[in-house]
Amino acid sequence: MPNTEGNLVAFHDVETVEAIDIIRTSSDQGWKNLYAYTARLRPFRSIFKPVDSLLVAMVLKGHLQGTWQIGDEISELYLQPGSIIIIPPDESVKVSINSNAEVINIYISRKLMEDVFIEFSSVGNSLFKLDYSLSIFDDFLGQTISSVKDILYVGGRFSSIEVQYIARVLVARVISKYSTLTSGDLNPEAGLSLPTIQKTFDYIEQNLHRRIVIDRLANTAGVGAAQFARLFKRATKVTLHQYIIRRRVEKARELLVETQMPIAEIAHECGFADQVHLTRFFGRIIGTSPASFRRKAQR
């Protein structure tokens, strides 16, 4: 279900499951792109419909025992404190729990997840595929999840900013450690070969400061502009326009931190029409203005 408090993160509806007692949630924290809650679990059975978010969960106390069915695969569970579960978006989960445990569930929006995927893809010239993982022990990931729990319980003036960065760290760790590279061969379902996508990424990266014309990219792939746009979205899960804008915003973020260039100059360097144009998209993706971001980054 969507987060009704407005932070635009979908999460599984557990309110109808009497055996799940919510301890603390982030509903009133004003967080964007991340929703978290801690809960006590008693034995239950339930089916959770797919949601449009990445779920990263960790056992805090007790042992989580039972079975989970994700897609067509059934897995036996015996999870100790510190065990981590990763479930990508759009997965249906059938759960049968026969023990008592305390857990933290963290949901990260598809939008933020795709932003980080794009960064990895552009740097590594590769596409990544994320499958579910059960019973992971990862000290770094565990500490990061614990940081979310600490902020959830303690709060603080800057908690909404902190969790934005922590969410990106969580996704980056999940991608780097628990995703797989797709094949370089032509994927009939994706429609674009990995070399073609790599050339597209490279061209965009080298021309962020210019107007990028889709016809030129389409010619490289040997298809029409409209078809290229469809195939690009099918392969990367984002539109070409979204990809270009996000790369421009990421480039602007780097320049804001690493240089003293005026923001108006950064806007033009990253292909935006003017500072207002940059500010609109920067705020939409990063959650704050370029000027505010620079002040916080340089403290």
pLDDT band at 181 (very low <50, low <70, confident <90, very high): low
* pLDDT higher at 58 or 7: 58
**pLDDT at 205 (0 to 100):** 87
**pLDDT at 20 (0 to 100):** 94
The rounded distance, in Å, linking the Cα atoms of 86 and 105 is 10
Mean pLDDT of 251-255: 89
Choice among 81-85, 186-190, 211-215 with the minimum mean pLDDT: 186-190
Q: Which positions ≥6 away from 235 have C-beta within 8 Å?
A: 127, 187, 190, 191, 192, 197
Does 40 score more than 70 pLDDT?
yes
**pLDDT at 288 (0 to 100):** 82
To which residue do tokens 């100059």 refer? 265
**pLDDT at 299 (0 to 100):** 66
Choice among 34-38, 133-137, 184-188 with the minimum mean pLDDT: 184-188
pLDDT band at 33 (very low <50, low <70, confident <90, very high): confident
Does 6 score more than 60 pLDDT?
no
**pLDDT at 128 (0 to 100):** 67
In the chain, pLDDT over 70 holds for what percent of residues?
90
Choice among 74-83, 128-137, 167-176, 279-288 with the minimum mean pLDDT: 128-137
DSSP state letters, 133-168: EEEE--HHHHHHHHHHHHHHHH--TTHHHHHHHHHH
**pLDDT at 185 (0 to 100):** 41
Domain ranges of the chain: 20-180, 194-297
Mean pLDDT for the chain? 85
Does 149 score more than 90 pLDDT?
yes
* pLDDT higher at 274 or 52: 274
In the chain, pLDDT over 90 holds for what percent of residues?
39
194-297 and 20-180 share a CATH fold: no
194-297 in CATH: which number?
Answer: 1.10.10.60
**pLDDT at 123 (0 to 100):** 64
**pLDDT at 112 (0 to 100):** 85
| CATH number 2.60.120.810 is the correct assignment for the domain at 20-180 | yes
